[in-house]
Amino acid sequence: MRISRVETDEAGVRHLGEARHQRIEGLHVLNLHGGPYDMAFQHGALLREAIPRGPLPFFEQYLTLFLRNSPLGPAAGAVAQLLEAWTQRRLLHRLPPIMRATAAGLADGAGLREADVLKAYLMPDAVLHAMALFGKVTRAPIAPGCACPPLGCTSAVAAPRRTARGQLLHARNMDFVGPGRWDAEPVVAFHRPEEGQPYVTLTSAGIAGGGITGMNQAGLSFAVHQHFPVDVDLEGEPVGLVGEHVLREARTLDEAIGLLDRHFPMGGWTYIVADAERAVAYEVAPGIRRVLPMEDGLLGYANVYQHPDLADAERAVYPSYVQANHARHQRVWAALRAMGEGPAGHTEASMAGILADAHVEGISAPVVAGDAICTPYTVTSVVFRPADRRFWVGQGPVPTCAGRYIGFDLKTAGPSGKPRTIESGETRLTPRVQAVQAYAEAWRAWMEYGDLPGAREALARALAAYDADPTVHHAAGLLALRAVDLPEAELHLQAALARETRPARLARTQAALAFALALAGRKGESMAAAREAKRLAPEDSVVKRQLGGLFTQARARRLPVELLYADVVV
């Protein structure tokens, strides 16, 4: 008989049979046992109160939000329902038993409908499918307004000879939709499956199972990076499944590669897998896969395919998104190469420092949003040390990469010994980090609720804390323009121009300023700003969109603002 009653002992640890749950410095720490259904049931029952505050309810409705500000307009809800129904009909009958069991177990444990759990779990692949389908129908890029999904994970790996203690280190930021949700209820879940080896996953309340970020008893760390592929194959496997198999079954890096060789994905992904000596980036898209080894004992990765054979497999969603991914990829490699070998090599703290890096080429001060490794949607940060199965988890809220990391040990399935904590180099009380948190709140107000006043108020708090980032001023200017608050729009756009040096970003700010000045009746100044925008970036699609058409209040109120990259999407 399955035990369903949760009991709490004198130390505050909650028990469900052999499974248990405790809070350690803001983290939910789970110890789960049994088959896929059992472990998911335990997750659901032990975190029943936390799950509604986590990402699951948001993921369930995300496809509708994603399409809400697309050219589909009011039809977005109906189209989302049709896409979800069609996708699930294609997928549900062929979902692997482990995924069905996980969804059923979580639903039963948490008192949810299994259909709603499956809808949320299939969200990443459903969004990729929607984007691919939309692109083929419209023959245009898709970045639907404020709902463009932020994807910007960063991995940094240093081999033993490139570390001070001679132990491979794998640092990973997970950047994903759900700031204010994923990071609100973070989970460190130790699994002891009835089949396979023990493993740990870094997840959030309601996201049961492994396969996104984790490490196993054999000393393999695993992390997923998402891409926007040109093609999506609904006959493939959903995201997370192959990672679950790697964590349960692989005992060597070569075994992990073998499992990935047999994996057929729906969408586009890169898997970073490391053991105690080396790491690979395994890039996949429907019909193609390539393996990238370390270079000079280092491996850095963002969200851009690196093998030339996959150059045409990735959709260019829109300019700022593409630029940010390239910038982070270059920055992580520069940060990795900045340290030497042996005693002069990387430490756990230096790797955490890479994850918290907020510098962007061409901007003198650290930034809040845009092209940096540390973002307002960094919802999970971890440094793995596979040789002795230890790892350190960044505390929330976003950005989880800043501040203190709490140590754990997979061998004991609990907190680690010395060092108990590591520091990224920037505390959570700095003005910049507080501005990142406020920016994340602005994005959530805009993305989840379409709350323009709430988003503007949160951006004002971000700027009050730290006003050095031109991207934040640009975002505030765009939202002020959308509200037809012309004095505020001009104020923030001029402030962005005073701080910006990158030609493309300068051009887009000038284009937005031209719009605001035209609405204010200052035709000559507007024309001058438009000319400067065209001079700086004559072929930029965002500039062309902003300057195309009539400058009217009605058009300003429909301006498709994407907040995380502070841009007007095309």
**Are 351 and 390 spatial neighbours (Cβ–Cβ below 8 Å)?**
no
Say yes or no to pLDDT of 42 above 90: yes
pLDDT at res. 267: 81
Report the CATH number that the domain containing residue 162 is assigned in CATH: 3.60.60.10
Please name every residue paired with 481 in a beta bridge, in sequence order, or none if there are none.
Answer: none
The average pLDDT across 125-142 equals 58
Angle between helices 114-121 and 56-68 (to 10 degrees): 60
Higher pLDDT pick, 545 / 33: 33
Do the domain assignments include residue 193? no
Domain presence at residue 1: no
Would you say residue 142 has pLDDT above 70?
A: no
Which two three-digit tokens encode residue 470? 């031109």
97-103 mean pLDDT: 90
Percentage of the chain lying above the pLDDT 90 cut: 69
Q: Which pLDDT does position 145 carry in this prediction?
A: 45
Amino acid identity of residue 211, one-letter, is: G
Residues counted in the chain: 570
Task: Establish if 19 belongs to a structural domain.
Answer: yes
Question: Of 367, 397, 429, at which residue does a domain stop?
Answer: 429
Residue 406, strand partner residues: 393, 421
State the CATH number of the domain containing residue 63: 1.10.439
478 burial via Cβ count (<10 Å: 0-12, 13-18, 19+) = buried
464 and 395 in a common domain: no
Q: Which H or E run contains 288?
A: strand 288-293
Distance CA 475, CA 243 (A): 37
**Residue 560: predicted pLDDT:** 84
Q: Which amino acid is at 97?
A: P
Compute the distance between CA of residue 270 and CA of residue 118 in angstroms, rounded to an integer.
23
Q: How far is Cα of residue 216 from the mean position of the Cα atoms in its chain?
A: 22
Q: Which amino acid, one-letter code, is at 527?
A: M
492 domain-assigned? yes
Please enumerate, as own/partner, the contacts of 286-291 that have beta carbons within 8 Å and a separation of 24 or more.
Answer: 286/229, 286/231, 286/232, 286/233, 286/236, 287/231, 287/233, 288/313, 289/260, 289/261, 291/257
Residues 249, 364 within the same domain: yes
Looking at the structure, tell me whether residues 41 and 67 fall in a common domain. Answer: yes
CA distance 324 to 312: 19
Q: Is 239 helix (H, G, I), strand (E, B) or coil?
A: coil
- pLDDT, position 146: 43
> Tens digit of pLDDT for each residue in 472-512?
999 999 999 999 999 999 999 999 999 999 999 999 999 99
pTM for this entry: 0.94
Using CB atoms within 10 A of its CB, is residue 550 exposed (0-12), middle (13-18) or buried (19+)? exposed
Checking if the pLDDT of 455 tops 70, the result is yes
Domain end residue (candidates: 402, 429, 456):
429
Outline where DSSP puts E strands in 108-220: 154-158, 169-175, 186-193, 199-204, 213-216
Identity at 445, one-letter amino acid code? A
**Chain CA centroid to CA 122, Å:** 16
Split at pLDDT 50, 70, 90, the class of 205 is very high
Does 268 share its domain with 158? Answer: yes
Cα–Cα distance, 272 to 280 (Å, whole number): 6
Stretch 206-235: mean pLDDT: 89
Question: How many separate domains does the chain show?
Answer: 3
Cα separation values, 448 from 58, 61, 330, 444, Å: 8, 9, 31, 5
> Averaged over 116-126, what is the pLDDT?
77
328 and 373 share one domain: yes
308, 312, 315, 319 alpha-carbon torsion, rounded to 10° = 70
Say which amino acid occupies 403. Answer: G
Whether residue 480 is found in the same domain as residue 374: no
Is 233 inside a domain boundary?
no
445 and 503 in one domain? yes
Q: Tell me: do 324 and 266 sit in the same domain.
A: yes
Give the tokens for residue 439.
């920016």
97: tokens are: 């038993």
Is 206 contained in some domain? no
In terms of domains, do 246 and 287 share one?
Answer: yes
Distant-in-sequence, close-in-space partners of 212: CB < 8 Å, separation ≥ 6? 174, 201, 202, 203, 223, 224, 239, 240, 243
Residue 516, domain member (yes or no): yes
Final residue of a structural domain among 147, 163, 192: 147
Q: With residue 280 as reference, give the H or E element that holds it.
A: strand 279-285
Question: How many other β-carbons are positioned within 10 Å of the β-carbon of residue 514?
Answer: 26
Alpha carbon distance 123, 422 (integer Å)? 34
Provide the pLDDT for residue 374. 96
Rounded (10°) angle between helices 123-138 and 56-68: 10
The domain that holds 454 is classified in CATH as 1.25.40.10
pLDDT at 143: 46
What torsion, rounded to 10 degrees, do the Cα atoms 357, 321, 65, 239 define? -80
75 is in which domain, residue-wise? 7-147
| Domain shared by 132 and 24, yes or no | yes
Section 537-563 average pLDDT: 91
**Residue 373 counted as domain residue:** yes
Q: Are 158 and 298 in contact (CB under 8 A)?
A: yes
Quick one: CA torsion of 84, 69, 324, 202, rounded to 10 degrees? -40
The pLDDT, as a whole number, for residue 531 is 97
Of 315 and 292, more confident: 292
The answer to whether residues 320 and 174 belong to one domain is: yes
Q: Do 264 and 335 fall into the same domain? A: yes
Q: For 300-358, what is each residue's pLDDT tens digit?
A: 999 999 999 998 988 777 788 888 999 999 999 999 999 999 999 999 999 999 999 99
Confidence at 1, pLDDT banded by 50, 70, 90 = very low
Q: Compute the Cα dihedral for 66, 96, 204, 418 and give only its sign.
A: negative
Q: Which two tokens stand for residue 230?
A: 């040109």
